[in-house]
Structures are given as C-alpha cells and as structure tokens.
Structure 1
Amino acid sequence: MKRAFTYIATSALAGMAAAYIAVTLFTAPAPTELLTPDPLPVLPAGQNQGPVSYASAVQLAAPAVVNIFTAKVTVQRGNPLFDDPFFQRFFGDRFRSQPRKQLQTSLGSGVIISRNGYILTNNHVIEDADQIRVVLSNGRTLDAQVAGGDPDTDLAVLKTDADDLPTITVGDSQGLQVGDVVLAIGNPFGVGQTVTMGIVSATGRNQLGINTFENFIQTDAAINPGNSGGALINAHGQLVGINTAIFSKSGGSQGIGFAIPVTLAKGVMEQILKQGRVVRGWLGIAGQDITQELAESFGLKAGRGVLVSGVLEGGPADQAGLTPGDVISTINEQPLTSAHDILNLIAAVPPGEKVRVKGWRNGEPIDIQVEVSERPRLDPQQQ
C-alpha cells in the first residue's frame, strides 16, 4: 500500500510540473494593443453637437418673407321680409332693413422677389381686398397695391413704393427630389413669423381640384392658415416654392401641404409684369381620360389618348372640325395620356399659333390643324 501511494503521488507531482513548464514555455503573453481599447474618434469642432442646424438658411431667407394684412368692406342687408310690400303695408318703414357695412380682414404671407418692391403671394390672399398692408420681419410697415393676379394658378404680384427691400435668393424647383429637406416660412394664425421643417413628400401633384393649373410640391413641413403665400426654401435658404394650401379635415396642418414650384411662379410673375396678365392658349374642348371601360367600348388601348367629351360652340376646336366623341392621341406629335396633358400643353402655346391634332373618329384616323386662341376665364374642365 505504501509503495502504491508513493507511486501515485510521484506521478501527480510530475504531471503538474510538466503542465507548468508547458504553459510557461509555449503560451505567449496577450498583446498589449488587444487589451487597450481604441480611443474614441474626435470630430472637428462644431460637428459633435447633434443634428445639423438650418439657422443660416433661415437667416438668409427670413428677412424677405413678409406678413400681409388685407381689409375689405362688405355690405350686409337685413332680412328681406322687412322690405316686402305686404309687410310694409301693415308696419310701414318701422322695421325696414338698412344696409350695413362690415369690415372683413384676413392675413397671409408673401415673398419679396426684387429690391424695387415686387412681392409674390397667393391670389386668394389679396383677392377683392380694398386695402393691403405689408409688414417686414423687422416690423416695418408698407402699403401695397396689386400689380396683377392669376386665379388659374392662385398667384399674385404686389407692388410697394419702397426700393431698398431685402430679397430672397431664387432656387431651382425642378431639381427637387423626394426626401429633400425644406422649410416653410410664414405667419400662421397671425402669431408672427414662424419656421417649420420637413421634407419633400412628393412632386408633380395635380388634379387636386385646388387650382386650374396644378403642379404642386407636397411637403410635411407644417403649413397652417396664414402661411399662404409664404416661402418654401431648401436647406441653403433658396426659394423653391410658394406655400399655397393644406389637406386637412380639422383646419390645421396634418402633414400634407402643397406649394407652387418657383419655376412656375417665376413664369407667371414675368407675364404679369410684362403684360399685366397671364396669356395662355385654349382650344375650347372638354376632355376625359380613357378608362378601361371607355377603351373597350371604343376599341382603344387604356391610357392612350383623351376622349373629347365636349366642344364649345364657336371655339377654336369647333371651328377646326373637332367633335364630341373624337379621341385625341397626339398634339404636335406629343403623346397624351390624360386630359391634364392637353390643358398644360395647349396653355403653353401662344395664341394665334396652330397645333396639329391627331387621333381617331369612329375608328378612322384624323389629322386636324387647330389655331389656338387666348384662354378666357372659364370652367377648369375646359381645355
């Protein structure tokens, strides 16, 4: 037993000694660099303080955004019953109603485009106003007159006598993409100049029933009553749109606002300043999109062409020979997919020029020359 115990103890000690030697000789120490954590990266000064600020863009654009206050006098008549001869037979003029004058005021916003006092805003902000006052961001107040308006795009130009006004830098709305950061500057609810931020939610919005000619920028930057006519700017402080309308069931912003692209607004403004009004081409027809049902009944391809649903008697299309039931496929070789295409295409043609209209009538091809006239103010559905 003693020999067995001595043998086991000796073997155990020998094993432990061998293990110690193996660990000591064949195990390398852990590199110091693996045990020491990397130092945190140091950002350049000004870049480690949270989200990017748009203060510089606002400071660049805000002085050129003004508050617009309008007033007009309306005449209210009393109950017409008091003017009835039968009533006056018994009561005389005792209760006869007298017209009462009432002062109505409204507010909106505008954007100073030129140093010599021209301001761009929405037509509905100043429509039928008897008095218009403009208040700059520094509190300066100016009287303004209407240089011209265009109800079809809901744009108007105001003129003040000042010639030392701050102006906004005009950007390029055609380069806007969904996801671009935009800021809306205006005077919501009359609380004073306010800036809200969002992104471009969509471009080219039309057929909303807001204006006759629509090509809206949609944004989720908060737009509220009083913002109409104000500036929609990009992250560089450049004007890209004129805030115009909101989609709301409550009357307040619900994240769906619409602005008129500055490219469209510039064209309207230039025409107003040059000739006092906006001149557009007109054919005198009402068009209807080709639906699947209409395509099957006319033997056409859905989405190809526009059905002529009405022709104004004596209008350019009527004089050229177009009739209801015709299908227009191209105008000046440009294919059409909706009635909206005709509206915009013809509006850009100067009155007096001729356009070539191609399509079908009762399955037979037609090719007609139509002389475009100047568009009168009429129902938005008539092209």
Structure 2
Amino acid sequence: MFKALRFFGWPLLAGVLIALLIIQRYPQWVGLPSMDVNLQQAPQTTNVMQGPSSYADAVIAAAPAVVNLYTTKMVNKGTNPLFEDPQFRRFFGDNTPKQKRMESSLGSGVMMSPEGYILTNNHVTTGADQIVVALKDGRETIARVIGNDPETDLAVLKIDLKNLPAITIARSDGIRIGDVALAIGNPFGVGQTVTMGIISATGRNQLGLNTYEDFIQTDAAINPGNSGGALVDAAGNLIGINTAIFSKSGGSQGIGFAIPTKLAMDVMKSIIEHGQVIRGWLGIEVQPLTPELAESFGLKDRPGIVVAGIFRDGPAQKAGLRLGDVILAING
C-alpha cells in the first residue's frame, strides 16, 4: 500500500498544483468569473504636452519697453506742536511758518510707441511735480504728463528720446483663463522684475477700485512699484496694465488686477487726441420705477426709471426730457 502511495503520490500532487494555477490564472476555463480589472493606460509618446521650460524670449521681447518711474512732489509738513499751543498763538496768531517736505514714490510704465508715449496708472503720477523715467538700457529723462483719466486710473506720459523700444500689443479679449501671464515692473524699487502666473479671471468689476472696471485677474506676483507695469502673454505681447492687488499685508497674495489693453488703448488714444477722455453722457438723474410709482403712472409690471433731475443745458434737456418722465427702454 505504501508503495502504491509513493507511486501515485507525486503525480497526484503535481496535478493538484497545476489545477490551482489554472484556476488562478484562467478562472473562466472552469466557469469562475474573471477578476481582471480593465485599466486604461495612456499611450506612450515622446511629445508630452507641456509649456516651454523658459519664457526668456517673452521677457527679451517685452522687458525693454517697461520703464521705471520715480516721482517727487512737495507736500505740507505737519505743524510743530509748539505752534498749536494757545499761549504761542496768542502772541503770533495764525501766522505760523508753513513747512514743506519732498515726498517721493515709485511705479512702472509701458512704452507704447517709438514716439515716446508711456502708459501708466493715474495714481502713480497724481500730484507729482517731477517724473523721472528710467529705461532698461540705463537712460534716464524727465517725462511730461499728456493727460490722465481717474475714472480708469490711467495716465499718458511723453518723453523725448530717440531709438525707443515699443511693446507689441495683443488683443486682451482673446486671452483665456489659464493662459500664462508675466508681470513686469519695479516692485519696491528693487529694479525691473519679472513674475509668472496665469490668468485667473477676466471681466472683474464692482471691486470699488475705479469707476469703469473690467479687470484681468492674475496670480502673478504684483507688489507696490508694479503699478503701471506690463502684464504680458507667453509671447511677450502686452495684454494689460498692472493696477492693483487685494492684500491684507500690503504685498502680493496671488490676487492682482490689470486693466486690459482694449480699454487702455481706447483711453490712451482719446487722451493723445483730445487731452482727456471724452465720454457720452445723458445729463439726468434717475430713480427706479418702483411698483408704487409704476401703478401711479398706469404702468403696472413695467420695468423702467423715472427722471428725477435734469442738468441745465445738458443733452437730455436739449432733447426735451422733463422731470417726472418715465424711461422704459433705450433704442428700443
């Protein structure tokens, strides 16, 4: 009997092991469900879709046209507390000496044409007695203000130098959220600096920054001194003028705003041609047409506005509008 076991044992054991391997590897052969998981593998490719490893060409194209601005102005210095003393004022009255001091600030600008027109922010140049423009090639000169537009926080400067580099302008309405954006400017006065990010949003408004708002939002670092500098695309083309940041610390927190070139160019052209931005106006003050007012006018469920005031000799008065008129549609 033991001889029989020795004779049949090894072949039997080998058969059992082979059967177990077949069940594990090919369960469908014996009627068991397959446990395979179908995973989709990405095809192998040598052309990986990635952005460029360097944006040096974009910087080389745009940076020479971005200038540093240094402004100075004279401001009244705080009065010495001695002059506020009632006994002192009793003898000298209000004829206390006025003290002044020079205040300086910095910003950035963008050379828009070889003729020397520079676009920057209005808040960079407001009240400045002198504006020094420093070019990337080392040249410096004094700029004069052609005009400004507080409503959009833009200003146009002019310098008189030869061989000036001008930036290439892109259509800001062609940018997409997620596009690469480079901010070029003079943060904190350390010198021309480039930071990189993406377009985070477009058409930002109702931020309380300007009267007319249509901002490009970016997470490219923008800091004090960057105001008026360039926001360019991955090819070095201008898409916006850096203007403001949202920050609790005063430094960049990844929420910066730029005025798109479409708006900036319209403002610049109007300032160069007319010295100011000319906008259409109607010359009226209005109030909403509330349900109560609508009912009193016999205009139930009709949206509109009521003329509550008219500017003398304005377009509305010349057109014949009167107080109490109800406007239900425009060009409709």
Q: TM class, shorter-chain normalised?
A: 0.7 to 0.9
Identify the residue that residue 146 of structure 2 maps to in structure 1.
147
Question: Is 2:67 aligned against 1:66?
Answer: yes
- Letter of the aligned partner of 2:264 in structure 1? A
Matched residues in 1 for 2:204 and 2:322: separation?
30
Q: 1:297 to 1:250 in 2, by over 3 A?
A: farther
- Per-residue CA deviations over 1:42-73 (Å, capped at 9, x if unaligned) read 847xx899963222111211111010001111
- Per-residue CA deviations over 1:132-166 (Å, capped at 9, x if unaligned) read 10111232212111122122211111111102111
Question: Is 2:221 aligned against 1:219?
Answer: no
Describe how 1:45-84 pairs up with structure 2 within 5 A: 52-76=53-77, 78=79, 82=83
Question: Is 2:283 aligned against 1:273?
Answer: no
1:312 CA drift (Å): 3.5
Q: 1:315 to 1:59 in 2, by over 3 A?
A: same
User: What SS is found at the alignment partner of 1:78?
Assistant: coil
Question: Is 2:73 aligned against 1:91?
Answer: no
1:210 CA drift (Å): 1.6
Q: 1:101 to 1:13 in 2, by over 3 A?
A: closer
Identify the residue that residue 315 of structure 2 maps to in structure 1.
316
Identify the residue that residue 354 of structure 1 maps to in structure 2.
none
Question: Is 2:194 aligned against 1:195?
Answer: yes
Residue ranges of structure 2 left out of the alignment (5+ in a row): 17-42, 295-299
- Is 195-204 or 169-178 further displaced after alignment? 195-204
- Is 280-289 or 207-216 further displaced after alignment? 280-289
Matched residues in 2 for 1:315 and 1:309: separation?
14
1:218 CA drift (Å): 1.5
Describe how 1:118-267 pairs up with structure 2 within 5 A: 118-267=117-266
Q: 1:255 to 1:328 in 2, by over 3 A?
A: farther
1:269 CA drift (Å): 1.2
Q: 1:306 to 1:178 in 2, by over 3 A?
A: farther
Q: 1:329 to 1:201 in 2, by over 3 A?
A: farther
- Letter of the aligned partner of 1:118 in structure 2? Y
User: What SS is found at the alignment partner of 2:176?
Assistant: coil
- Structure 1 segments of 4 or more deviating over 6 A? 16-19, 47-51
Matched residues in 2 for 1:332 and 1:165: separation?
46
Matched residues in 1 for 2:304 and 2:257: separation?
29
The question of whether the paired residues in 2 share the 8 Å contact of 1:245 and 1:257 is answered with yes
Matched residues in 2 for 1:65 and 1:18: separation?
82
The question of whether the paired residues in 1 share the 8 Å contact of 2:199 and 2:218 is answered with yes
Matched residues in 2 for 1:154 and 1:17: separation?
88
TM-score of the aligned structures, taking structure 2 as reference length: 0.78
- Per-residue CA deviations over 1:311-347 (Å, capped at 9, x if unaligned) read 44553334445466766443223xxxxxxxxxxxxxx
User: What SS is found at the alignment partner of 2:329?
Assistant: strand
Q: 1:274 to 1:92 in 2, by over 3 A?
A: closer
Residue ranges of structure 1 left out of the alignment (5+ in a row): 20-39, 334-383
Matched residues in 1 for 2:11 and 2:214: separation?
91
Q: 1:296 to 1:92 in 2, by over 3 A?
A: closer
The question of whether the paired residues in 1 share the 8 Å contact of 2:83 and 2:89 is answered with no
The question of whether the paired residues in 2 share the 8 Å contact of 1:83 and 1:97 is answered with no
Matched residues in 1 for 2:217 and 2:50: separation?
31
The alignment of Structure 1 onto Structure 2 pairs a total of residues equal to 304
User: What SS is found at the alignment partner of 1:251?
Assistant: coil
User: What SS is found at the alignment partner of 1:170?
Assistant: coil
* Higher RCO by CA contacts (8 Å cutoff, separation 6 or greater): 2
Identify the residue that residue 113 of structure 2 maps to in structure 1.
114
TM-score of the aligned structures, taking structure 1 as reference length: 0.68
- Letter of the aligned partner of 1:78 in structure 2? T
The question of whether the paired residues in 2 share the 8 Å contact of 1:107 and 1:125 is answered with yes
The question of whether the paired residues in 1 share the 8 Å contact of 2:172 and 2:261 is answered with yes
Q: 1:265 to 1:295 in 2, by over 3 A?
A: farther
Matched residues in 1 for 2:76 and 2:96: separation?
12
1:88 CA drift (Å): 6.4
The question of whether the paired residues in 1 share the 8 Å contact of 2:82 and 2:88 is answered with no
- Letter of the aligned partner of 1:57 in structure 2? A
Identity over aligned pairs, percent: 57
The question of whether the paired residues in 2 share the 8 Å contact of 1:284 and 1:312 is answered with yes
Matched residues in 1 for 2:231 and 2:90: separation?
62
Matched residues in 1 for 2:201 and 2:286: separation?
26
